[in-house]
Amino acid sequence: MSEEHFLDFEKPIVEVEHKINELKKHLKRKPQLEEEIVRLEKYLDELKNKIYLNLSPWEKTQLARHPKRPFTLDYVNGIFSDFIELHGDRRFSDDKAIITGFATFERYKVMIVGHQKGRDIKENIMRNFGSANPEGYRKALRCMKLAEKFNLPVITFVDTQGAYPGIGPEERGQAEAIAYNLQKMSSLKTPIITVIIGEGGSGGALGIAVADIVLMLENSIYSVISPEGCAAILWKDSSKAAEAAKSLAITADRLLSLGLIDKIVPEPLGGAHNDFSLMMENLKKVLRESLDSLCAKDIDSILKDRYNKFRRMGEFYEGGKLVSSRIF
């Protein structure tokens, strides 16, 4: 584990790893240290399992935001081939916070749409930290319509704190652009698969996430608001973000139990950034299964299932009776 990017709850792991590395430096002069190293390595494995298999919602939020976590272009380069990026919304500009393009996944030709963050300050400024403007959502929809025209499945990757809330985006119709995407994606005549790979924040995430199958990485989050934003509104104190995260039901296991996502993609122990190759293989397997199941259906069945999927969301029981909040 990189000592530069460890999280607070990972500190015990880093300390043991540091001790093991120090002992290994003296192993040639003191062979008797090997027994202690073996003991510590065994303890380290137990410690990792104890910590990573019992993460709180706030700790998973921190993992979802890890700066070394794979981004959309990492998955594009690791899973797909023949990627041809498409640019611009044909109205205002090319929003680099959302990338789009044609690609090949095994035997399928697909359309890729995804949020893209940066690895350093310069790239993050160029990518606007993964927070899209209206032109980003219009570019996404333009490319989805291309996919519909050529009968290509759409695969979207969600990783954003939310759509950019600045004055410029509001003047250019941020809310309208997202709302229009929701409307058009609900009836797009081609299969849609969404993968929540990091943060799935508010309408900024939902603007490219109305899908037939919604997959979610094990340590990603998906919520109407960030834990800090929720804490600031409810308690006027953003430091209560951990408490808010627990109440918001933002983790993959909770969302699966509520029927808001369809499947959890397992991550390597400690997070997707710990083993890119294993993460790619895990996602590739689930994507293959999802594409095979969707592409075996006719488009009328896909649209009917998509409609019913979102109609069911928001149902709850009150006084023993089913109450439904219809959103379509």
pLDDT tens digits for range 126-159: 999 999 999 999 999 999 999 999 999 999 999 9
pLDDT (0 to 100) of residue 31: 73
pLDDT (0 to 100) of residue 327: 44
Residue 43 structure tokens: 């303890």
- The pLDDT of 96-106, averaged and rounded, is 96
**Distance separating alpha carbons of residues 60 and 52, to the nearest angstrom:** 9
Residues 6 or more apart whose Cβ sits within 8 Å of residue 76: 83, 99, 101, 103, 112, 114
- The pLDDT of 223-238, averaged and rounded, is 89
Q: Which of 116, 113, 131 is nearest to 185 (CA)?
A: 113
Asked if residue 325 has pLDDT above 70, the reply is no
**Are the C-beta atoms of 129 and 161 separated by less than 8 Å?**
yes
Q: Which of 102, 103, 95, 97 is nearest to 79 (CA)?
A: 103
Q: Which residues pair with 318 in a beta bridge?
A: 321
Residues 6 or more apart whose Cβ sits within 8 Å of residue 271: 52, 63, 66, 69, 219
pLDDT (0 to 100) of residue 237: 87
Asked if residue 324 has pLDDT above 80, the reply is no
Asked if residue 171 has pLDDT above 70, the reply is yes
- The pLDDT of 104-123, averaged and rounded, is 95
Residue spans of the domains in the chain: they are 8-54, 61-317
The pTM (predicted TM-score) of the whole model is 0.90
**Distance separating alpha carbons of residues 218 and 253, to the nearest angstrom:** 8
Superfamily grouping for domain 61-317: 2-enoyl-CoA Hydratase; Chain A, domain 1 (3.90.226.10)
pLDDT (0 to 100) of residue 30: 76
Task: Place 312 in a pLDDT band, splitting at 50, 70 and 90.
Answer: confident
Kindly provide the b/e burial profile for residues 123-132, where b requires at least 16 CB atoms within 10 angstroms of the residue's own CB: eeeebbbbbb
Asked if residue 78 has pLDDT above 70, the reply is yes
Angle (nearest 5°) at CA 34 between 28 and 36? 135
- The pLDDT of 54-79, averaged and rounded, is 94
Between residues 33 and 307, the one the model is more confident about: 307
Q: Which of 196, 235, 233 is nearest to 214 (CA)?
A: 196
Task: Place 34 in a pLDDT band, splitting at 50, 70 and 90.
Answer: confident
- The pLDDT of 219-233, averaged and rounded, is 91
Of 30-44, 84-98, 207-221, the one with minimum mean pLDDT is 30-44
Q: Which of 242, 227, 196 is nearest to 69 (CA)?
A: 196
pLDDT tens digits for range 179-202: 999 999 999 999 999 999 999 988
Q: Which residues pair with 121 in a beta bridge?
A: none
Task: Place 328 in a pLDDT band, splitting at 50, 70 and 90.
Answer: very low
Asked if residue 29 has pLDDT above 80, the reply is no
Asked if residue 85 has pLDDT above 60, the reply is yes
Asked if residue 252 has pLDDT above 80, the reply is yes
pLDDT tens digits for range 43-64: 999 999 999 999 999 999 999 9
- When computed from its CA atoms, the radius of gyration of the chain, rounded to whole angstroms, is 22
Q: Which residues pair with 221 in a beta bridge?
A: 199, 251
**Distance separating alpha carbons of residues 161 and 118, to the nearest angstrom:** 13
Task: Place 35 in a pLDDT band, splitting at 50, 70 and 90.
Answer: confident
Residues 6 or more apart whose Cβ sits within 8 Å of residue 146: 86, 111, 152
Q: How many other CB atoms are there within 10 angstroms of residue 260's CB atom?
A: 17
**Distance separating alpha carbons of residues 181 and 152, to the nearest angstrom:** 18
pLDDT (0 to 100) of residue 113: 98
Between residues 34 and 270, the one the model is more confident about: 270
Kindly provide the b/e burial profile for residues 200-212, where b requires at least 16 CB atoms within 10 angstroms of the residue's own CB: bbbbbbbbbbbbb
Asked if residue 2 has pLDDT above 60, the reply is no
- The pLDDT of 16-42, averaged and rounded, is 82
Asked if residue 318 has pLDDT above 90, the reply is no
**Distance separating alpha carbons of residues 44 and 13, to the nearest angstrom:** 7
Query: Any idea which residue has 């606007």 for tokens?
Result: 128
Asked if residue 81 has pLDDT above 80, the reply is yes
Asked if residue 116 has pLDDT above 70, the reply is yes
Q: Which of 144, 134, 159, 161 is nearest to 72 (CA)?
A: 159
